[in-house]
Amino acid sequence: MLKLGVPSKGRLMEKTFAWFGDRGVTLRKSGDDRAYTGTVEGIDGVELVLLSAGEIPRELAAGRIQLGVTGSDLVHEKLPLWASQVCPLALMGFGGADLVIAVPQAWVDVDTLEDLDAAAAAFRGVHGHRLRIATKYHRLVREFLRENGVADYALVDSQGATEGTVQNGTAEAIADITSTGETLRANGLKILGDGLIHASQATLFRGRRGGWTDEQRDTLRRLEERLGV
């Protein structure tokens, strides 16, 4: 059996089902809507596994599922060696969201990373601690800021309602996912002109972990043909 991991709820699940349906593979949640098992029609040898989108990268890397649909942001954040752990088979054209750096709109002097860096230096001098950036994407944000030569900041963990941390006084800036920027604006924040860290979208990945059977390899070939990827 080839196990296909799909987000277990919400629009991401619905759009994934629709994407496969358009290509002649019907994915369906079984019976009870609250159940996390499902059925696959239109191809043999594929088993549907419904999972939290955030767990799919780990399950792919561990080889407990062979295929998975999740946001590329989650794969890049959670798998340090993602390029050697998973292989993208298809960009699915939905679930688009940008991981961006945003600062208060009131910071009229800060519109670029260079500005952020200078503001962070001055901030540390005045307040005696580093400028705090709230995020749950620690790895991606840290790598991005290092590559772009931003110093004197510290990441603070925020697993939700990140846009509110600035108003609440627990951070000075944020790095978070946004699709339209509306929530950011509603919270008095603006995106830095060069602050795009990662443009994410729902992606079908194949795990690179070895140990596949001939049958699994054959199933993947047939599935790729069917999906046209």
Partner 1 sequence: MSDLTASLAEAQRLRALFEAQGATPVDADILQPADLLLDLYGEDIRGRAYLTHDPIRGEMVMRPDFTVPVVQTHMDSGADPARYTYAGKVFRMQDGTGARPSEYVQVGFEVFDGTNPAEADATVFAAIAEALAGLPVTPATGDIGILKAAIGGLRTSEARKAALLRHIWRPGRFRSLLDRFGGRSAVPPSRAALLAEGDPLGAVDEVPGKRSRAEIADRIAALRADAATAPLAEEERELIDALLAVRETCPYALSALRDIAVDMPAVQGAVQGLARRLDALSDKGIDVDALPFEGSYGRTTLEYYDGFVFGFTASHAPEMPPVATGGRYDALTAQLGSGQAAPAVGGVIRPDLVLGLRGGV
Binding region for partner 1 (CB under 8 A): 80-81, 84, 104-112, 114-115, 117-119, 121-123, 126-127, 129-131, 138-139, 142, 145-155, 166-167, 169, 171-172, 188, 193
H/E element, 224: helix 214-227
Is 165 or 219 the residue whose CB approaches partner 1 more closely? Answer: 165
Tell me the closest approach of the beta carbon of residue 210 to partner 1, in angstroms.
15
Q: How far is the CB of 124 from partner 1 (least distance, A)?
A: 9
* Minimum separation from the CB atom of position 127 to partner 1 (A): 6
- Nearer of residues 47 and 114 to partner 1, judged by Cβ: 114
CB of 161 to partner 1, least distance (A): 15
**Is the CB of 40 or the CB of 110 nearer to partner 1?**
110
Please report how close the Cβ of residue 196 comes to partner 1 at its closest, in angstroms: 15
The answer to whether 85 and 79 have CB atoms below 8 angstroms apart is yes
Closer to partner 1 by CB, 36 or 107: give it: 107
- What is the Cα–Cα distance from 61 to 196, expressed in whole angstroms? 26
Alpha-carbon distances, residue 209 vs 77, 82, 203 (angstroms) = 19, 11, 18
Specify the 3-state DSSP secondary structure of 67: strand
| Tokens, residue 92 | 């699915």
Q: Which is nearer to partner 1, 79 or 97 (CB)?
A: 79
DSSP string, 80-147: TTHHHHEEEEEE-S-S-EEEEEEEETT-TT--SHHHHHHHHHHHHHHHSSPEEEEES-HHHHHHHHHH
